[in-house]
Structure 1
């Protein structure tokens, strides 16, 4: 039987005090198996509804509801807000249209990644002009301290910048091919999701008048939405979504991790850390072309010289890759820290950062098991199609480097 291969980091906490999201009581009511994660009590899965594999496949075929309220939501405002963003990220936010956003990374002075995050430009005329930001729960302290230090430095120089966390707001993720039809059915007929495309965020109003911030996107590779709603309204709204019980199921951390791994997405602490740059992390596309030739040191992003040298001269040793096991016979999945070896010399040339069975590619009926993973390997050994070995439990298994995403994505682009 296929088993969840969630790594131990997903079951860790960053503080002694366990917090609760606005949906905590709902999780308990419907039988969530609660675990500490990033300082919060979060559902790993809902065993009386589905196991991990069933939940994973349900999101790929129907719609799954995730509680992601543990993530840090914040807002950035002021006429000089972009100056801050252009210092701490490599993305050109002048080129981002209102209501749209981008994945980016917070960069240390040496170009190391403090966190990956989503940043959206608010619509023109919005009462809260500026940017809406979502960062990882496990990096709340590091992100907050880093952003505030940079805000304080720039405001002391006379720049107009304000950053503040958003409190009292839940964040839900409705993901899967049926997500759009379900959310649309809960909106007034005058409000249409068809024109909301991947990477776009707008405010909609429920029939009761409650506003919801709706982003088209997510962490699964499927079409879907991340929905911000007032915390006191979150349980009622979630129960409305779950009332479509033949289409929408509650989904926990276990399936969230295997879904993102299939989609080729990073998990901070596994694929990304403060010692790695976006070039090494195979996130070069986050470095806007308009920002790669910045002649003024005052407007360059942190780590500019190192990162540009890596781009131009390949002055780095390893890069992030995805891989699949060559055999579909049952075998233990690779774990973070497992060695990746040259298949001829057996010399270590890399390391696994995440690994799991792929529920989408495996088939319990035929006992076909496809193990997948991500990791870092030496330049020259990173091309798709390269065959390597992974060492797991003192045994070696043939793997092949595969282009990410490892399972096709289905983002809605209109």
Structure 2
């Protein structure tokens, strides 16, 4: 167990980190992610409020559709990454990172007061639910046995409120942070143990902790806030320009737009890239060098990939070295090792998309 953002969280359970990781890729695993901040934004001006804080086009979301978005500051830095869902129940459901709980809540509450002082119709409620993530290729099959709803009608980044193994009022969202098919289930806290126990009765399901979650998200090329993106990183530098809604780019009406939008059309000094590496495992803060030995960046995340049986990492390099296939060096314990700039994700994603 480790302390994280005021919570005590398991790094791993009985199985080793590698076994948990591979079980998730081949079967499915249950992650307790109840430490995440869940909020509801409601009222007639809820979309305007959220769009005053994030880069995404929230107004274009269909009922029960969600999107990954970013809180940004006026200098273009990323304050947090989050998922915003436009629910059919008349509110926005927002899930953001536990490590940014206080900062995110203060940001939303301050903007809420600003809107209310102008007479806008908005409100905010912190959702006191647990959050369980069931992730892996057999997750839908396992979950379907406890549902009356048909999961085949719930594609990636959509959600619905339903009964799950007899627990009413659960919001099931087809998403996760592993690159696999799966769901996140927002469940009343008093029923979380009941639901987790019901899921674990299926031999396909095993508990997994933070270590597997971290290596799975890295293989999927997904950022960890505070490591790979932060308030000194812009969405374009972080290779997250795709989160900027087309209408929002044109209107330039989100925090930091004057910095971020020109970067889409011009050059940035550095970019987040993937790396496949030889030698010893590469960790955060390892220098990245060109083949002449000049430092051109640094690693932000790295680990041995259980799926690929080789070392993978991501980090920032000067833009001229960001093309996939570029040969570079990484320095681990003062020794230089070969690495190659690689496309991400390292492992193909298996999100469920309606055909």
Quickly name the TM-score band, shorter chain normalised: over 0.9
- Give me the whole-angstrom Cα distance separating, in 2, the residues matched to 1:119 and 1:406: 26
Residue 239 to residue 309, structure 1, CA distance change in 2 (3 Å): same
Given candidates 260, 274, 293, the residue that maps to 1:322 is 274
Matched length: 354
Provide the residue aligned with 1:401 in structure 2: 341
Asked if 1:161 corresponds to 2:118, the answer is no
1:399–1:117: structure 2 CA closer, same or farther, 3 Å change rule? same
Q: Between Structure 1 and Structure 2, which shows a larger proportion of strand residues?
A: 2
Q: Aligned-pair RMSD on alpha carbons?
A: 1.1
The residue number in structure 2 matching 1:29 is none
1:73 aligns with 2:38: yes
CA distance in 2 between partners of 1:184 and 1:130 (Å): 26
Match of 2:75 in 1: 110
- Judged with a 3 Å threshold, the aligned counterparts in structure 2 of structure 1 residues 278 and 388 are, in CA distance, closer, same or farther, namely same
Decide which of 260, 272, 282 is 1:307's aligned counterpart. 260
Question: What is the DSSP-based 3-state SS (H/G/I as helix, E as strand, rest coil) of the residue aligned with 1:302?
Answer: coil
Show the counterpart of 1:218: 176
Deviation at 1:313, TM superposition (A): 2.0
Q: Which residue of 2 aligns with 1:46?
A: 13
Q: Please say if 1:332 is aligned against 2:280.
A: yes
1:258–1:209 CA distance, 2 compared to 1 (3 A): closer
Equivalent residue runs for 1:96-107 within 5 Å: 96-107=61-72
Identify the residue that residue 235 of structure 1 maps to in structure 2.
193
Q: Any stretches of 5+ residues in structure 2 without a counterpart?
A: none
CA distance in 1, matches of 2:57, 2:17: 39
Cα displacement (A) at 1:338: 0.6
**Against the structure 1 CA distance between its residues 401 and 209, is the aligned structure 2 distance closer, same or farther, given a 3 Å change threshold?**
closer
Q: CA, structure 1 residues 238+207, in 2 after alignment: closer, same or farther (shift >3 Å)? A: closer
Aligned with 2:308 (options 353, 361, 378): 361
Q: What are the superposed Cα offsets for residues 181-221 of structure 1, whole Å, 9 maximum, x if unpaired?
A: 00001113xx2111100000101113635221100010000
Q: Secondary structure at the match of 2:154?
A: coil
Determine the C-alpha separation between the residues in 2 that align with 1:217 and 1:360.
21
Q: CA deviation at 1:406?
A: 0.7
Question: Partner of 2:166: helix, strand, or coil?
Answer: coil
> Which blocks of at least 5 consecutive residues in structure 1 are unaligned?
1-33, 363-369
Q: Secondary structure at the match of 2:10?
A: strand
Secondary structure of the residue aligned to 1:278 is coil
Task: Quote the Cα distance in structure 2 between the aligned partners of 1:134 and 1:207.
Answer: 23
Q: Which residue of 1 aligns with 2:113?
A: 152
**Which of 6, 26, 29 matches 1:61?**
26
Instruction: For 1:255-266, list aligned pairs within 5 A.
Output: 255-266=212-223
Which residue does 2:138 correspond to in 1?
178
**SS of 2:312 mapped into structure 1:** strand
Structure (1 or 2) with the larger CA radius of gyration: 1
Whole-Å Cα distance in 2 between the matches of residues 53 and 408 of structure 1?
18
CA distance in 2, matches of 1:155, 1:281: 34
SS of structure 2 residue aligned to 1:293: helix
> 5 Å matches for 1:15-54?
34-47=1-14, 50-54=15-19
Q: State TM-score, norm by structure 2.
A: 0.98
Give secondary structure in 1 for the equivalent of 2:11: strand
Aligned pair in 2 of structure 1 residues 147, 46: CA closer, same or farther (>3 Å)?
A: same
Decide whether the 8 Å contact of 2:43 with 2:121 is kept in 1: yes
CA shift for structure 1 position 101:
0.5
**Pair 1:310–1:213, CA change in 2 (3 A):** same
Shift of 1:271: 0.6
* Corresponding residue number in structure 1 for 2:289: 341
2:205 maps to which residue? Answer: 248
Could you tell me which residue of structure 1 aligns to residue 299 of structure 2? 352
SS at match of 1:44: coil
- 1:309 deviates by 1.4
> Is the CA contact (8 Å cut-off) linking 2:167 and 2:191 kept in structure 1?
no
Output the CA distance in 2 between the equivalents of 1:106 and 1:93. Answer: 13
Provide the residue aligned with 2:56 in structure 1: 91
